[in-house]
Amino acid sequence: MFQVIVMWNLTRPNQELSETINKIGLRGYNKETFITGEFAWKIAEGEIKPLSVSDIADKHCPTRRDLYIRKGVSRPSRRIRRGRITWGSKAGVLVEGYLRKIVKEALEDTGINSNYSEIIEISDTNHNSYVSSKQLEIKRLEKLEERHPREKGNTGWLKELLKSNGRAEFAFNYLNEVLKENSSINSRDILIGENARIDKPDKPRERKKYVKQIGINLPATPDFIIPKYGIVGDIKTGIEFNPNFQLTCAGYALAYENIKGENNNINWGIVYFFPTRNPRLYRKSLTFAQVYIFPIDDYLRKEFLAKRDEAYSITSRKEYPPLPKENERDKCGHCKFKDFCRQNDLEVKNG
């Protein structure tokens, strides 16, 4: 998380790419971004489920059967909607919790650490405390690893990656404390958890009004947000970076602007990508988080809005989307709804 701050302060994209930001017209408070009347009415009447940013942006199944199983009007029972627990999804939860703990620990530490040995000691103490508190979750990960070896999950190596990345994060925090200027982002500008929540806490009855407009369910909570600098961010985990990750930031930007109104623009997205798995089962590399900084321009906003409309069109139908074509089933083996689709004659090679 502190790597995000350092990279922003070093690259200063708000200065380098200011022209791109000035051209943004599709703001969440503009009617051009509002959902069509048909879907707005169905949401208001409870005929269809409002969709979250992740529902809209995270596309795993080519035909979006996974979305329909969760939110479609003819969706199956809750037991089936829960699906199969996967190693990757549980590992992602562990990583996000770890990063939140680092931010909390660093903000509470008023001292400045002057050398690598001190940073390593503080980071490792934090790491050991977190791992000890998550023993139940770690044991579940280990069981999932044994049960589904094709996911290439390695719980022991994940703990090593957390430790090395934790040290890097504490070092980045120290580096920023040394180098920061008056105009720089500092660690206290970044909001996480409940503080990052996009909502109307003072007027919860008004939620439906905003959901009908923008088509994004509330409350919506990005992994981090820096309103002062017009930045919203998301933590992603997995094997490799997916361009669809950027759409998540576009969705949160539109939701924030819709709730807060004019003069509360979100112009920038940051994806903090933490590689939890190696594509090769027996190769171990100490990898570190990758930071992607990008303007949430009209092109990205249009793409999110198109996917939003497509998603509502799919969930509004009474029929399930078709099974993916045989040449599009590379992700089916790891899908949490694989067993359900097999009941509809899905065949998965090596799955």
Residues 6+ apart with CB under 8 A from 29: 257, 258, 260, 261, 262
pTM of the model: 0.91
Q: With a cut of 70, say whether residue 102 has pLDDT above it.
A: yes
Which of 62-71, 105-114, 188-197 comes out lowest in average pLDDT? 105-114
Which of 90-94, 114-118, 287-291 comes out lowest in average pLDDT? 114-118
Q: Which long-range contacts link 101-104 to residues 24+ away (Cβ below 8 Å)?
A: 101/126, 101/129, 101/130, 102/1, 102/2, 102/126, 102/166, 102/169, 102/170, 103/1, 103/2, 103/187, 103/190, 103/192
As given in the structure block, the two tokens for residue 137 are 């979750």
Higher pLDDT, 326 or 125: 125
Q: Which of 196, 228, 252, 198 is nearest to 5 (CA)?
A: 228
pLDDT tens, position by position, 266-301:
999 999 999 887 655 556 778 899 999 999 999 999
pLDDT tens, position by position, 214-261:
999 999 999 999 999 999 999 999 888 888 899 999 999 999 999 999
Residue 29's pLDDT is what? 95
pLDDT tens, position by position, 136-155:
999 999 998 888 776 677 89
Q: Within 13 Å and on the Cβ side, how many CA atoms surround 75?
A: 24
- Residue 226: phi and psi, rounded to 5, are -130, 80
Residue 282's pLDDT is what? 55
Which of 131-140, 182-191, 199-208, 239-248 comes out lowest in average pLDDT? 199-208
Q: Which residue has the tokens 């200063």?
A: 12
Residue 112: pLDDT band with limits 50, 70, 90: low
Q: With a cut of 80, say whether residue 202 has pLDDT above it.
A: no
Q: Which of 206, 60, 112 is nearest to 68 (CA)?
A: 60
Average per-residue pLDDT for the chain: 88
Residue 124: pLDDT band with limits 50, 70, 90: very high
For residues 11 and 191, what is the distance between their CA atoms, to the nearest angstrom?
Answer: 21
Residue 346's pLDDT is what? 60
pLDDT tens, position by position, 1-14:
899 999 999 999 98
